[in-house]
Structure 1
């Protein structure tokens, strides 16, 4: 098992996962030190590159049969690190993002703990559901817009943040229902 993890750790899709984690750090540095529109555009470009590499790693893994158990863990971890980093950084410009970050942390903590319990009970990973994917896409689209327009007025920014929170809360509730059913 240990040898297999070492071998799987360096498969191309997993290298993209590491790259996305590095991109999250680079994004944070650029965004938190931005002082011109060009800096914000660069930060948005980094997120776009991260999203593109996320798409590509999945395509490569499926097409070339490089799906690994290690990758099934690394990919969502890289996603959550990226999403959390973006949301946290945006709290510096948009105060209501703090509420979104709190909801994100509660949701992801619950899903992580419940997911481990389910894995232990049924020895299977349910994977992301459609409502989780919609929540993720909504988060990326809205945060991308907020990155591109850091001087957006409060009202439209807050409306976008509340939409994102509503979609995230809906996904959270649906996952709670699913996980309770699987755990009983």
Structure 2
């Protein structure tokens, strides 16, 4: 896997760098929030992150700017953003820790299996539909929780269950794909 110098400044990669910069800004803003306006600002930062995530993929495909660096950088920015959002939400709602743990187990398992496949010269080609749905549901639910800091515990539990369900579906889907790759049946 070779990264060319020209890849570093492609627009989709610049958007991924921007998303990485937004992570500590979002985290600080949310943790320090005291008023409705503060939570609204944190919600806006999260929305901007999601918008740049969507734009980097659209621009990469539309303008033929798909790069090796982007294939690595985009999912890293996604996962770090998701970890940060779930991490700061745990401060307000401890029940989020179960979703956080599920997310860590899912991502670490997929990473480790992918690493062993890569050592065998095999690599999954991009995100799958179930992973994309899991990510959309995750962001949607986290967006709701960030924007509604006074949500009741029962509603938070409902959001966590919905998000967890789609995380498990994505996890099982990826395990199936990775197993077939490992078994050589694709």
* Shared fold (TM-score, shorter chain, > 0.5): yes
1:160 aligns with 159
What SS is found at the alignment partner of 2:143?
Answer: helix
1:21 aligns with 20
1:119-157 Cα distance to aligned partner (Å, 9 max, x none): 332443332111111110110011100011111010011
Q: Where does 1:24-39 land on structure 2 (aligned, <5 Å)?
A: 24-39=23-38
Cα distance in 2 for partners of 1:138, 1:57 equals 19
- Cα RMSD over matched residues? 1.4
What SS is found at the alignment partner of 1:91?
Answer: helix
Cα distance in 2 for partners of 1:146, 1:124 equals 35
What SS is found at the alignment partner of 1:92?
Answer: helix
1:70 aligns with 69
**Where in structure 1 are there 5+ consecutive unaligned residues?**
none
**Where in structure 2 are there 5+ consecutive unaligned residues?**
none
What TM-score, normalized to structure 1?
0.94
Cα distance in 2 for partners of 1:174, 1:123 equals 18
**Residues 122 and 181 of structure 2 are in contact (CA less than 8 Å); yes or no, is this contact kept in structure 1?**
no
**Residues 110 and 174 of structure 2 are in contact (CA less than 8 Å); yes or no, is this contact kept in structure 1?**
yes
What SS is found at the alignment partner of 1:147?
Answer: helix
Cα distance in 1 for partners of 2:47, 2:150 equals 20
**Residues 30 and 42 of structure 2 are in contact (CA less than 8 Å); yes or no, is this contact kept in structure 1?**
yes
Q: CA deviation at 1:113?
A: 1.4
Q: CA deviation at 1:24?
A: 1.2
Runs of 4+ in structure 1 deviating by more than 4 angstroms, as ranges, are none
Q: CA deviation at 1:180?
A: 1.3
Matched, 1:140 2:139: yes
1:146-182 Cα distance to aligned partner (Å, 9 max, x none): 0111110100111111111111012112211221121
What SS is found at the alignment partner of 2:125?
Answer: coil
The number of residues matched between the two structures is: 183
